[in-house]
Amino acid sequence: MPTSLGRLLGTVAWRELVAHARAAITHPHLLAALIRRSPAPLVERYYAWKDSGRILRARAPAGKVLFVDGGGHLGGGFRFFSSYFPPGRVEYDVFEPNPNCIEPLRRKLAGFDRAIVRLHPAALSTRSGSLRLFGITEREGGPLSTGASVNRHQHSVFYDADAGEALEVPAIDFCDYIRSSGERYDTIVVKLDVEGAENDLLEGLIERDLLRYIDTLYVEFHSFFLKNPRRRAERLRETRLIRHLKDSGTHFRVWH
Protein backbone atom coordinates (compact mmCIF):
# COMPACT_ATOMS: atom_id res chain seq x y z
CA MET A 1 0.00 0.00 0.00
CA PRO A 2 1.47 3.43 -0.92
CA THR A 3 2.53 5.39 2.15
CA SER A 4 0.19 8.32 1.40
CA LEU A 5 -2.78 5.98 0.99
CA GLY A 6 -1.86 4.17 4.19
CA ARG A 7 -1.79 7.45 6.12
CA LEU A 8 -5.13 8.43 4.62
CA LEU A 9 -6.78 5.16 5.60
CA GLY A 10 -5.29 5.45 9.08
CA THR A 11 -6.83 8.91 9.43
CA VAL A 12 -10.22 7.55 8.36
CA ALA A 13 -10.02 4.69 10.88
CA TRP A 14 -9.03 7.06 13.71
CA ARG A 15 -11.87 9.46 12.85
CA GLU A 16 -14.37 6.59 12.93
CA LEU A 17 -13.03 5.30 16.26
CA VAL A 18 -13.31 8.71 17.93
CA ALA A 19 -16.82 9.25 16.56
CA HIS A 20 -17.98 5.85 17.83
CA ALA A 21 -16.46 6.46 21.27
CA ARG A 22 -18.13 9.85 21.65
CA ALA A 23 -21.50 8.54 20.49
CA ALA A 24 -21.32 5.53 22.82
CA ILE A 25 -20.96 7.86 25.82
CA THR A 26 -24.18 9.72 25.06
CA HIS A 27 -26.13 6.83 23.48
CA PRO A 28 -25.91 3.70 25.70
CA HIS A 29 -27.82 1.60 23.15
CA LEU A 30 -24.93 2.08 20.71
CA LEU A 31 -22.37 0.89 23.26
CA ALA A 32 -24.51 -2.19 23.95
CA ALA A 33 -24.75 -2.91 20.22
CA LEU A 34 -20.98 -2.63 19.78
CA ILE A 35 -20.40 -5.03 22.69
CA ARG A 36 -22.84 -7.56 21.21
CA ARG A 37 -20.97 -7.35 17.90
CA SER A 38 -17.50 -7.96 19.38
CA PRO A 39 -17.43 -11.76 18.66
CA ALA A 40 -18.68 -11.15 15.11
CA PRO A 41 -15.38 -11.55 13.17
CA LEU A 42 -15.02 -15.23 14.10
CA VAL A 43 -18.66 -15.94 13.27
CA GLU A 44 -18.36 -14.10 9.96
CA ARG A 45 -15.26 -16.08 8.98
CA TYR A 46 -17.03 -19.31 9.81
CA TYR A 47 -20.04 -18.50 7.64
CA ALA A 48 -17.91 -17.23 4.75
CA TRP A 49 -15.90 -20.46 4.89
CA LYS A 50 -19.05 -22.58 5.15
CA ASP A 51 -20.89 -20.78 2.35
CA SER A 52 -17.95 -20.72 -0.05
CA GLY A 53 -17.37 -24.42 0.59
CA ARG A 54 -20.99 -25.22 -0.14
CA ILE A 55 -20.94 -23.19 -3.35
CA LEU A 56 -17.41 -23.72 -4.69
CA ARG A 57 -16.14 -26.95 -3.14
CA ALA A 58 -19.30 -29.03 -3.39
CA ARG A 59 -19.17 -32.13 -5.56
CA ALA A 60 -21.58 -30.65 -8.07
CA PRO A 61 -20.07 -27.96 -10.35
CA ALA A 62 -20.64 -24.46 -9.00
CA GLY A 63 -21.48 -23.09 -12.44
CA LYS A 64 -21.17 -19.38 -13.10
CA VAL A 65 -21.01 -17.48 -9.78
CA LEU A 66 -21.50 -13.75 -9.17
CA PHE A 67 -20.63 -11.94 -5.93
CA VAL A 68 -22.40 -8.59 -5.53
CA ASP A 69 -20.50 -6.28 -3.16
CA GLY A 70 -23.01 -3.60 -2.18
CA GLY A 71 -21.04 -0.88 -0.42
CA GLY A 72 -17.45 -1.31 -1.58
CA HIS A 73 -16.08 1.69 0.37
CA LEU A 74 -12.27 1.28 0.32
CA GLY A 75 -12.19 -2.44 -0.42
CA GLY A 76 -12.33 -4.00 3.05
CA GLY A 77 -15.32 -6.18 2.25
CA PHE A 78 -13.84 -7.27 -1.06
CA ARG A 79 -10.54 -8.13 0.61
CA PHE A 80 -12.35 -10.29 3.17
CA PHE A 81 -14.72 -12.13 0.84
CA SER A 82 -12.29 -12.60 -2.03
CA SER A 83 -10.18 -14.84 0.22
CA TYR A 84 -13.17 -17.21 0.39
CA PHE A 85 -14.72 -16.52 -3.02
CA PRO A 86 -11.59 -16.09 -5.19
CA PRO A 87 -11.87 -13.90 -8.30
CA GLY A 88 -11.60 -16.10 -11.33
CA ARG A 89 -13.82 -18.77 -9.90
CA VAL A 90 -16.23 -15.98 -8.98
CA GLU A 91 -17.04 -12.72 -10.77
CA TYR A 92 -17.55 -9.53 -8.76
CA ASP A 93 -19.69 -6.45 -9.18
CA VAL A 94 -18.54 -3.87 -6.62
CA PHE A 95 -20.88 -0.91 -6.05
CA GLU A 96 -19.77 2.28 -4.27
CA PRO A 97 -21.64 5.61 -4.47
CA ASN A 98 -19.10 7.88 -2.74
CA PRO A 99 -17.03 9.51 -5.51
CA ASN A 100 -14.21 10.20 -3.03
CA CYS A 101 -13.73 6.46 -2.55
CA ILE A 102 -13.62 5.47 -6.20
CA GLU A 103 -9.93 6.08 -6.95
CA PRO A 104 -8.63 4.44 -3.71
CA LEU A 105 -10.97 1.53 -4.36
CA ARG A 106 -9.91 1.30 -7.99
CA ARG A 107 -6.29 1.05 -6.86
CA LYS A 108 -7.24 -1.76 -4.47
CA LEU A 109 -8.84 -3.67 -7.35
CA ALA A 110 -6.15 -2.86 -9.92
CA GLY A 111 -4.51 -6.29 -9.74
CA PHE A 112 -7.62 -8.07 -10.93
CA ASP A 113 -8.99 -8.56 -14.43
CA ARG A 114 -11.60 -5.84 -14.99
CA ALA A 115 -13.80 -8.36 -16.77
CA ILE A 116 -13.85 -10.42 -13.56
CA VAL A 117 -13.91 -7.67 -10.89
CA ARG A 118 -16.04 -4.76 -12.06
CA LEU A 119 -16.32 -1.46 -10.18
CA HIS A 120 -19.56 0.52 -10.45
CA PRO A 121 -19.56 4.10 -9.06
CA ALA A 122 -23.26 4.05 -8.19
CA ALA A 123 -25.69 3.59 -5.31
CA LEU A 124 -28.03 0.63 -5.06
CA SER A 125 -31.61 1.83 -4.95
CA THR A 126 -35.22 0.85 -5.56
CA ARG A 127 -35.16 2.93 -8.73
CA SER A 128 -32.73 4.08 -11.38
CA GLY A 129 -31.69 7.71 -11.61
CA SER A 130 -29.84 9.72 -9.00
CA LEU A 131 -29.83 10.12 -5.22
CA ARG A 132 -28.30 12.53 -2.73
CA LEU A 133 -25.38 11.20 -0.67
CA PHE A 134 -25.04 12.60 2.86
CA GLY A 135 -22.41 12.63 5.58
CA ILE A 136 -19.13 13.24 3.75
CA THR A 137 -18.15 16.75 4.86
CA GLU A 138 -15.27 17.27 7.29
CA ARG A 139 -17.63 18.06 10.18
CA GLU A 140 -19.64 14.89 9.48
CA GLY A 141 -17.99 11.58 8.57
CA GLY A 142 -15.34 13.05 6.28
CA PRO A 143 -14.83 12.57 2.52
CA LEU A 144 -13.97 8.86 2.90
CA SER A 145 -16.49 8.13 5.64
CA THR A 146 -17.64 4.55 6.11
CA GLY A 147 -21.03 6.06 6.94
CA ALA A 148 -21.81 7.99 3.76
CA SER A 149 -25.50 7.33 3.15
CA VAL A 150 -28.40 8.13 0.86
CA ASN A 151 -30.46 8.37 4.05
CA ARG A 152 -30.02 11.86 5.50
CA HIS A 153 -30.81 10.70 9.05
CA GLN A 154 -28.69 7.55 9.00
CA HIS A 155 -25.93 8.62 11.41
CA SER A 156 -27.93 11.02 13.54
CA VAL A 157 -26.30 9.72 16.75
CA PHE A 158 -23.05 11.21 15.39
CA TYR A 159 -24.13 14.33 13.49
CA ASP A 160 -26.99 16.08 11.70
CA ALA A 161 -26.25 15.76 8.00
CA ASP A 162 -26.22 19.01 6.05
CA ALA A 163 -28.58 18.67 3.09
CA GLY A 164 -26.87 21.59 1.40
CA GLU A 165 -23.58 19.67 1.32
CA ALA A 166 -25.02 16.42 -0.08
CA LEU A 167 -23.67 15.13 -3.39
CA GLU A 168 -25.85 13.88 -6.21
CA VAL A 169 -24.76 10.38 -7.24
CA PRO A 170 -26.01 7.90 -9.84
CA ALA A 171 -28.24 5.05 -8.70
CA ILE A 172 -29.30 1.76 -10.24
CA ASP A 173 -32.48 -0.22 -9.68
CA PHE A 174 -31.23 -3.12 -7.55
CA CYS A 175 -34.24 -5.31 -8.27
CA ASP A 176 -33.84 -4.95 -12.04
CA TYR A 177 -30.12 -5.67 -11.66
CA ILE A 178 -30.75 -8.87 -9.64
CA ARG A 179 -33.37 -10.09 -12.11
CA SER A 180 -31.03 -9.50 -15.05
CA SER A 181 -28.08 -11.12 -13.26
CA GLY A 182 -30.21 -14.09 -12.25
CA GLU A 183 -30.77 -14.87 -15.90
CA ARG A 184 -27.01 -14.92 -16.59
CA TYR A 185 -25.52 -16.59 -13.49
CA ASP A 186 -26.11 -19.95 -11.85
CA THR A 187 -25.38 -18.67 -8.33
CA ILE A 188 -25.54 -15.16 -6.86
CA VAL A 189 -24.06 -14.11 -3.51
CA VAL A 190 -24.91 -10.63 -2.18
CA LYS A 191 -23.29 -8.52 0.53
CA LEU A 192 -25.24 -5.42 1.55
CA ASP A 193 -23.46 -2.85 3.71
CA VAL A 194 -25.27 0.19 2.38
CA GLU A 195 -25.63 2.41 5.45
CA GLY A 196 -29.37 2.46 6.02
CA ALA A 197 -30.59 1.68 2.49
CA GLU A 198 -30.76 -2.07 3.16
CA ASN A 199 -34.36 -2.19 4.40
CA ASP A 200 -35.74 -0.57 1.25
CA LEU A 201 -33.66 -2.87 -0.97
CA LEU A 202 -34.67 -6.03 0.88
CA GLU A 203 -38.35 -5.11 0.90
CA GLY A 204 -38.11 -4.50 -2.84
CA LEU A 205 -36.59 -7.95 -3.42
CA ILE A 206 -39.32 -9.59 -1.35
CA GLU A 207 -42.19 -7.68 -2.96
CA ARG A 208 -40.95 -8.52 -6.46
CA ASP A 209 -40.19 -12.17 -5.61
CA LEU A 210 -36.50 -11.87 -6.44
CA LEU A 211 -34.92 -13.62 -3.44
CA ARG A 212 -35.15 -16.81 -5.50
CA TYR A 213 -32.20 -15.55 -7.54
CA ILE A 214 -29.95 -15.09 -4.48
CA ASP A 215 -28.24 -18.13 -2.98
CA THR A 216 -26.52 -16.37 -0.07
CA LEU A 217 -27.21 -12.95 1.44
CA TYR A 218 -25.00 -11.10 3.94
CA VAL A 219 -26.63 -7.97 5.39
CA GLU A 220 -25.43 -5.37 7.86
CA PHE A 221 -28.30 -3.51 9.50
CA HIS A 222 -27.84 0.05 10.77
CA SER A 223 -30.81 1.09 12.90
CA PHE A 224 -28.63 1.56 15.99
CA PHE A 225 -27.01 4.61 14.33
CA LEU A 226 -30.37 6.42 14.33
CA LYS A 227 -31.97 8.53 17.01
CA ASN A 228 -35.44 7.65 18.26
CA PRO A 229 -38.19 7.51 17.12
CA ARG A 230 -36.62 6.55 13.77
CA ARG A 231 -34.46 3.91 15.44
CA ARG A 232 -37.49 2.10 16.86
CA ALA A 233 -39.33 2.22 13.54
CA GLU A 234 -36.37 0.91 11.55
CA ARG A 235 -35.66 -1.77 14.14
CA LEU A 236 -39.21 -3.07 13.67
CA ARG A 237 -38.64 -3.21 9.91
CA GLU A 238 -35.38 -5.09 10.47
CA THR A 239 -37.09 -7.60 12.75
CA ARG A 240 -39.78 -8.31 10.16
CA LEU A 241 -37.20 -8.62 7.40
CA ILE A 242 -34.95 -10.95 9.39
CA ARG A 243 -37.91 -13.20 10.18
CA HIS A 244 -38.90 -13.34 6.51
CA LEU A 245 -35.36 -13.90 5.26
CA LYS A 246 -34.72 -16.74 7.70
CA ASP A 247 -37.84 -18.48 6.40
CA SER A 248 -36.92 -17.96 2.75
CA GLY A 249 -34.87 -20.35 0.65
CA THR A 250 -31.92 -17.95 0.68
CA HIS A 251 -28.97 -18.59 3.01
CA PHE A 252 -29.21 -15.44 5.11
CA ARG A 253 -26.51 -14.05 7.43
CA VAL A 254 -26.66 -10.94 9.61
CA TRP A 255 -23.33 -9.20 9.00
CA HIS A 256 -21.42 -6.68 11.13
pLDDT-based confidence at residue 59 (cuts at 50, 70, 90): very low
Residue 13 lies in a domain: no
* Residue 164 predicted with pLDDT over 70: yes
d(CA 82, CA 37): 22
Question: Rounded to an integer, what distance in angstroms lies between the CA atom of residue 79 and that of residue 109?
Answer: 9
- Closest C-alpha to 94, from 67, 114, 77, 119: 119
Q: Is residue 113 part of a domain?
A: yes
16 inside domain: no
pLDDT for 24 equals: 46
Q: Is the pLDDT of residue 180 over 60?
A: yes
Domain membership of residue 149 as a residue range:
40-255
Is residue 156 in a domain? yes
Number of domains present in the structure of the chain? 1
Instruction: Give me the chain's average pLDDT, please.
Output: 87
pTM for the full model?
0.84
